[in-house]
Structure 1
Amino acid sequence: MKKLIGTTLSFGLVLSFSFGSMDTAEAKTKTFKNCTELNKVYKGGVARSSKVKNKGGKTKYKPVVSSSLYKANSSKDRDKDGIACER
């Protein structure tokens, strides 16, 4: 009985790790055409890291922090402060 429970739990853990890694591997980072499209989804823009400070002045919204999303849309960071399309 103990062997069966141990085997079942081990099998469950292996399955959960394999499905969890599939989700991250399948997730794609979206590249937006322009800042208008990006701001429809992320109102405050996208920041490279949580330590980045806005150099452009006062903003209305807080940016979402995602390094992979920032890398995909880094061309939209006109003032090169580490936040793309800040508003």
Structure 2
Amino acid sequence: MKVGNRLLAGALVVDLLACVYWVFHESGTLTTILDPNALHALVIQLGAWRPAAIIGLMVSVWTPSSRQRAKSMAPAH
């Protein structure tokens, strides 16, 4: 892959992420996701879909850096 194509692909990814952020910000979704009380209320409203929503949130938030923090906070064996 040529350097120009890689730069274009990188710029497109950054633009896509910026667009997703903007849509989440404008729609209020970002505020809901970042507010624990609002997120809790939303999950409670889901009823039967609640387990799938919780799993989806855990998978989307469980990044390598959070795994490292979890390991450092775990009790020693």
Question: Which TM-score tier does this pair reach, normalised by the shorter chain?
Answer: 0.3 to 0.5
Higher relative contact order (CA 8 A, sep 6+): 1
Question: Larger radius of gyration, structure 1 or 2?
Answer: 1
Tell me the TM-score normalized by structure 1: 0.33
**Structure 1 or 2: more strand by fraction:** 1
